[in-house]
Amino acid sequence: MPTPATDSSSQRSLIGDAPESPRTVEIDLEAREGAWEIAPGQVVEGWMYNGQVPGPTIEARVGDTLVVRLKNSLREATTLHWHGVRLPADMDGTSLVQLTVGPGESFEYRFALVDAGTYWYHSHNNETVQVERGLYGALIVRDETEPVVDAEQVLVLDDILLDENGEFASFDGMQQRHDGRHGNTRLVNGRVGPEISIAAGQIERWRIVNASNARYILLSIGRPFRLLGTDGGLVEEPITMSDVLLTPGDRVDIAVGPFDEGDTVSLGSLPCGHAATEIEQFASIRVGERQASKAFIPDRLRTIERLAPCDALPTRQVLLGHTMSADGAVDFTINDEMHLNDHPATVGELQVWDILNNSHMDHPFHLHGFFFQVLSVDGVPPEFVSWEDTCNVPANSRVLIAWMPDDRPGRWMYHCHILEHHAAGMMASFEVVRPGERVMHAGPHSCHT
Ligand code: C2O
Ligand code: CU
């Protein structure tokens, strides 16, 4: 039986090999309820794109224009967010920039893809429920020159919380609001404990997405692998690692192999102090018959210009915190406010944000629409430079990031990617304005079709 990771019907790419000139990649996505078979004979009530979880993997190349017609056949409103993609503000899929798409309505997303990398798309309305129930998928953007590998796999990791009847557990409760919704059922590409196959002797590129609401994954395959890329595409050089942290919303591209025939390997999460106390297995890896390899991973992948030194002067403070509300629930805040309205950033003016977490728990910080570089964590520069849209801000720590607003004015947001924290207030919106221009207070626009 084919495994989900290689099953061409569930994870087939929507476009095949195509000519080199920029194309328009058109896709229809219908959000609807349906039976989500997480294991043979084990079905939960999913909300999915085109009846599958993950939704179809969208593949395109830098320069292509992506056109996605979203039809909402759910019984509640939705929107579609393109996590990590540098697109125009009005295509970002938040309720800051568009009216939500009501039941029976449609919306067309259209934007050019400017950066190669591993992205994902997910609902951005009632996310704590809609993403948990399966409204997410991967978006792969390739460049003309990429490291040569023998094969590529897209692995979307998730964990869902089921009750004793095997249905989605209640979405309410103080604990979920406080800790985030940690699941009890781990999934890869929408399936429990699948088997991933790789030929002995070969090197594959695995594009990994953490689509879970709240789970931190300290990813390990029980032996070293090479990090090729992060949220915003390739790193400068492949980095040999034995594990890598994926917060909710994060992606990594890794080169795995070569393995020997008969090796038993598995993909799991090491204990990392985030609810996990033992190795949690996500998938087993079956090493098949030896095959020739054509893989070529250069020592130098690209050059990333440093935006700022590690001790750059901050231009903005972002304080992640929480307070107790009158009814005893925890409210999550930024600069002591829930759903903060933050001040504007000007196109072309370097942003150095000092993100301070004075709470006792880690928060994954996510900036929409722009990539940033981590300059330092508690004053210590990271071991390598990378482009990120999501990074961990450890408990009682400060993370300094830098990013440059390019000419895409409009309303943007940043938030904690533990979806329950986002919903409970840990988010802010702000305007990107052109120099000399005033903030426009236009409301969300509609372009329902
Ligand atoms: Cu991945 Cu505001 O989202
Ligand atoms: Cu958080």
Q: 212 CA distance to ligand 1 centroid (A)?
A: 12
Atom of ligand 1 nearest to the CA of 94: 2
| Residue-level pLDDT at 272 | 78
Q: Give the ligand whose atoms come closest to the C-alpha of residue 360.
A: 2
Buried b (16+ CB within 10 A) or exposed e, 281-296: ebbbbbbeeeeebebe
Closest-CA residue, ligand 1 atom 3, reads 83
| Residue-level pLDDT at 274 | 58
Adjacent-strand bridge partners of 13: 57
Q: Are 135 and 32 in contact (CB under 8 A)?
A: no
Q: What is this structure's pTM?
A: 0.93
Q: 206 CA distance to ligand 1 centroid (A)?
A: 22
| Residue-level pLDDT at 4 | 38
Q: 198 CA distance to ligand 2 centroid (A)?
A: 36
| Residue-level pLDDT at 328 | 83
Q: Is 168 exposed, middle or buried (0-12, 13-18, 19+ CB in 10 A)?
A: buried
Closest-CA residue, ligand 1 atom 1, reads 83
Q: Tens place of pLDDT for every residue, the chain, 449 residues?
A: 333 333 333 333 444 444 568 899 999 999 999 999 999 999 999 999 999 999 999 999 999 999 999 999 999 999 999 999 999 999 999 999 999 999 999 999 999 999 999 999 999 999 999 999 999 999 999 999 899 999 999 999 999 999 999 999 999 888 999 999 999 999 999 999 999 999 999 999 999 999 999 999 999 999 999 999 999 999 999 999 999 999 999 999 999 999 999 898 899 999 876 555 678 999 999 999 999 999 999 999 999 999 999 999 999 999 999 998 888 889 999 999 999 999 999 999 999 999 999 989 999 999 999 999 999 999 999 999 999 999 999 999 999 999 999 999 999 999 999 999 999 999 999 999 999 887 655 455 444 43
Lookup result for tokens 């301070």: 356
Omega prior to 54 cis, within 30 of 0: yes
Atom of ligand 1 nearest to the CA of 427: 2
Q: 2 CA distance to ligand 1 centroid (A)?
A: 32
Task: Establish whether residue 81 lines the binding site of ligand 1, counting it when its CB lies within 6 angstroms of any ligand atom.
Answer: yes
Q: Are 34 and 55 in contact (CB under 8 A)?
A: no
Q: Is 374 exposed, middle or buried (0-12, 13-18, 19+ CB in 10 A)?
A: buried
Lookup result for tokens 């056949």: 73
Atom of ligand 1 nearest to the CA of 122: 1
Q: How far apart are CA 357 and CA 18, in angstroms?
A: 47
Q: Give the ligand whose atoms come closest to the C-alpha of residue 84.
A: 1
Q: 396 CA distance to ligand 2 centroid (A)?
A: 13
**CA angle, 392 as apex, 249 and 203 as ends, to 5°?**
60
| Residue-level pLDDT at 8 | 37
Task: Establish whether residue 366 lines the binding site of ligand 1, counting it when its CB lies within 6 angstroms of any ligand atom.
Answer: yes
Q: How far apart are CA 414 and CA 315, in angstroms?
A: 16
Residues in the chain: 449
Q: 357 CA distance to ligand 2 centroid (A)?
A: 10
DSSP of 212-238, one letter per residue? -SS--EEEE-SS-EEEEEETTEEEEEE
| Residue-level pLDDT at 1 | 35
CA-to-CA dists, residue 128 to 125, 135, 323, 395, angstroms: 8, 11, 20, 22
Strand arrangement, sheet containing 117-123: 55-61, 136-142, 117-123, 80-83
| Residue-level pLDDT at 273 | 66
Q: 423 CA distance to ligand 2 centroid (A)?
A: 10
Task: Establish whether residue 368 lines the binding site of ligand 1, counting it when its CB lies within 6 angstroms of any ligand atom.
Answer: yes
| Residue-level pLDDT at 150 | 98
Atom of ligand 1 nearest to the CA of 84: 1
Lookup result for tokens 């080169």: 255
